[in-house]
Amino acid sequence: MKLFRVDGPLYQFFSRFWDMIKLNFLWLLCSLPIVTIGASTVAAYTITLKMVDEQEGYIAKSFFKAFRANLKQGIPLGLLTLLATYIVYLDIQIFMALENPPVYILVMTIVSIFVFTLGLIYAFPLSARYENTLINTLKNSWEISLRYFGRTVILVLVLAVEFVIFFFNHFTIAMFVLIGPACFMLTISGMVMYMFRQIEKDPDSVRR
């Protein structure tokens, strides 16, 4: 039966699932010294972008090669992302701690989430695919988010649905530990590859 052949859908599914487990483990391993989480994330995106085109090859070898190559830019990008996340977290905590929080705090929280999301959602895949300065990578992420605003909103909604599914029960939480972060990155990569291909038709549209 074709279902159980090497080129069959069942084998392909489990092969991809195993690749996701390996990639997620490598990402977690190289993110443990928190300072390297940025480089680890760029390396993971290097793999997931290739997965979209089914050109990933050997996961571990490609991951570590990309990890070493992106330490210089990945570390500050990762630290910036952690700082932005912490700022949003503080805004939320302040809002929830106040008995009658003023509207401006809610507005600040929403604006912070909006700005940081647009500025960072494509920054890591951009770093994985193109060589650029950190500042220009952030600017390009922002500009791509605005240019493809509708697709970006859809992407955020899809990620939110995935998040809810992963935390639905104990089994899905276990699945999140196994493949969650890698799954989120693959989802973003699938959407962003369309944008990258459009941009590559007009290279002058991005900052260098």
Please give the helix or strand (H or E) that residue 119 lies within, else none: helix 103-120
Is 72 inside a domain boundary? yes
> Mind listing the pLDDT tens digit for each residue in 45-96?
999 999 998 877 789 999 999 999 999 999 999 999 999 889 888 878 887 8
Residue 185 structural domain: 14-205
How many angstroms separate the Cα of 98 from the Cα of each of 19, 92, 93, 103, 106? Answer: 45, 10, 9, 11, 11
Number of domains in the chain: 1
At residue 54, the 3 state secondary structure works out as coil
- pLDDT-based confidence at 151, cuts 50/70/90? very high
Is 8 inside a domain boundary? no
Is 5 inside a domain boundary? no
pTM of structure: 0.88
